[in-house]
Amino acid sequence: MSQSKWVPLEASPEVFNDWSRALGLPNSPLSFQDLFSLDDEFLAFVPQPVKAVLLLFPSRGELAAAREKEERDGEGKWDGKDVWWIKQTIPNACGSIGLLHALLNLPEGALTPGSQLLKFKAATEALGPLERAKLLDEADFFESAHTAAAQAGQSAVPEDLDVDTHFIAFVQAPNAKGELRVVELDGGREGPFDRGPSKDLLRDVAKIVQDKYIARAAGDINFNMIVLAGEEE
């Protein structure tokens, strides 16, 4: 287990873009953008393609209990192989873990050749999730990028670093049968999580968030969503 403890990242597209550009996401054609509504009419205006959706949610109460039950029951265990996933061992690093899950599952050619992100992916491709986490903890450039991004946010850096909100990522990938699925990538789980069939990643995730997260949050409104999508016009 890592002894490092990082400052939580603010749920801000500007922060996420700064973090990602510095490490290998080109200036175009993709960028992180706020998702302000889950209404279908609003979703229609989100630039395409949508390659990943990041969710910040309150990790407490009924919602936390429901997620723990999913783990105990073994629901949604991922059976595909075409997903890059890392176990989170660094406290408060869930924002950076979410970014890694979004970026390192992009199609080939989407990241800058020779970038830190691609080097890290290549170095970890044959490693297990905990071995990847150890390498992440030892990689100074990731902690530096995380710290710089956290300090660049609009919110004051909290004195108490123990938080009860959590970042996860959703991507689209084929399962063992070749069927496209929504895959939830959370470093706090025991592995990638199959959230069901996917035809339209953004709309599929919107429904999952409404049914599996917001509905279980007992009125808690501490949610934020960011998409990695085509650049805004």
The residues annotated with a catalytic role in the active site are: 94, 166
Torsion of CA 112, 117, 119, 122, to 10 degrees: -110
* d(C-alpha 145, C-alpha 143), whole Å: 5
Contact 159, 50 (CB under 8 A): no
Using CA atoms, how far apart are residues 104 and 179, in angstroms rounded to an integer?
20
The CA distances from residue 181 to 82, 127, 172, 174, in Å, are: 11, 24, 6, 6
Q: How far apart are CA 213 and CA 59, in angstroms?
A: 10
Q: Which residues contact 78 (CB under 8 A, 6 or more apart)?
A: 175, 183, 191, 192, 193, 194
Cα 171 to Cα 30: distance, rounded to the nearest angstrom? 15
Residues 73 and 190: beta-carbon distance below 8 Å: no
